[in-house]
Structure 1
Amino acid sequence: MNDRAKLASDQWEKERPDIDSKIMALVGRLLEATSLIERDWLYPLASQFELHQGEFDVIATLRRSGEPYALTPTALYESLMLSSGAMTSRLDRLENKGLIERGRAPEDRRSILVKLTPAGLALIDKILPLHVANEQQALAALSQAEQRQLDTLLTKLLTGLHNVP
């Protein structure tokens, strides 16, 4: 493996010994790990089913919401941390593929609900076990104990990042 973060850190250490280049290497590794997992593991699996990763995220979010597998567009984009414009284009593509449908909410006719179609539900139920196995394989370099430790540390980091003013 070419440790680009270490190379960059070593270069900064030489050029600017007054800064903490080790922290730069750590953040670089986090970013590279995210990029590799997305590029080499998540995107290829979604594309096998003619989905973009973002489309997979939408149907997975609807599925995990429980029956009737329906949410408002606002609940969806807040759950996925997207802008409403990005959500609209994803929903348009998924509706064109017959995986979701948009309709009026029964309790509030002014509100729209996005719902998985039977085809969307069947597809996500088919993909989900493959997705979990894919994620397990992506993290296979770490033992179960190391995965739990990483999860704990990332949870702590994210909590701290969300609480920064």
Structure 2
Amino acid sequence: MDAASSPAPRDRTDPAERVADTPDRVAEIQAEWLRERPDLDPSPQGVIGRLHRVALALTERLTETYREFGLTEGEFDVLAALRRAGAPYERAAGELADHTMITTGGLTKRIDRLEARGFVERRAEASDARRRTIRLTAAGLEVIDRAFTAHLANEHALLDDLGRDDAEALRGILARWLRALDAG
């Protein structure tokens, strides 16, 4: 193999290091605020503004994977909550709403769509016919297992951009911050 046909040398720099020195939109916004309002400290935007932008970018990347399986983010969330319940993969409607962090009205719309596609079924509880249990069907179990496998592969790929050490550090920092926000 000659030099013209050999592959280009691979950049072995840690991905986080390659982008660390690149100014981003948040830094530009902070600089504008410092210029316009030097009496204020815009440093929180360095964290919160970037987290917000990261969350939006991650949501887009995650929902791309869900779409590969014909699912919305909310439908994926419902199917995943049922799958995590373990066999027979069912939850009471109120419990399912708690596990998906949405209102019962929002849940009803998602269940309607999933039921129409044959991924879930509703049934009345034996103790109270007014209460409903939502259960994965065989088709729902199959699609969520495939979608979740792809979802985790996607999440691993997204974290690879950070490198293992940064991902571990961020995991701990975010866990502490989330506990503090939840307690507040």
The Cα of 1:106 is off from its aligned counterpart by: 3.7
> What's the secondary structure of 1:67's corresponding residue?
coil
For 2:86 and 2:102, how far apart are their aligned partners in 1?
21
Runs of 5+ unmatched residues, structure 2:
1-21
Partner of 1:90: 110
Normalised to the residue count of structure 2, the TM-score between the two structures is 0.84
Hey, what's the Cα distance between the residues in 2 that align with 1:63 and 1:2?
42
2:154 is paired with a residue of what secondary structure?
helix
Q: What residue is the counterpart of 1:144 in the other structure?
A: 164
Hey, what's the Cα distance between the residues in 2 that align with 1:79 and 1:33? 24
- Number of residue pairs matched? 163
- Paired residue for 2:39, among 10, 14, 18? 18
**Identical-pair percentage:** 35
CA distance in 1, matches of 2:27, 2:144: 39
Whole-Å Cα distance in 1 between the matches of residues 23 and 109 of structure 2?
38
Structure 1: where are the runs of 5+ without partners? none
Root-mean-square deviation (CA, aligned residues, Å) is 1.4
TM-score for the superposition, normalised by structure 1: 0.93
Q: Rg larger in 1 or in 2?
A: 2
Displacement, 1:147?
Answer: 1.2
Q: Which residue number corresponds to residue 178 of structure 2?
A: 158
Matches of 2:126 and 2:136, distance apart in 1? 16
> Separation in 2 of the partners of 1:124 and 1:20?
46
- Counterpart residue number, 1:6: 27
Looking at both structures, which has the greater relative contact order when contacts are Cα pairs under 8 Å and sequence separation is at least 6?
2
Once the two structures are superposed, the pairs formed by residues 1-165 of structure 1 within 5 Å of their partners are 3-39=24-60, 41-164=61-184
Query: Over residues 80-112 of structure 1, what are the superposed CA-to-partner deviations in whole Å (9 max), with x where a residue is unaligned?
Result: 111111111101000001000000224544421
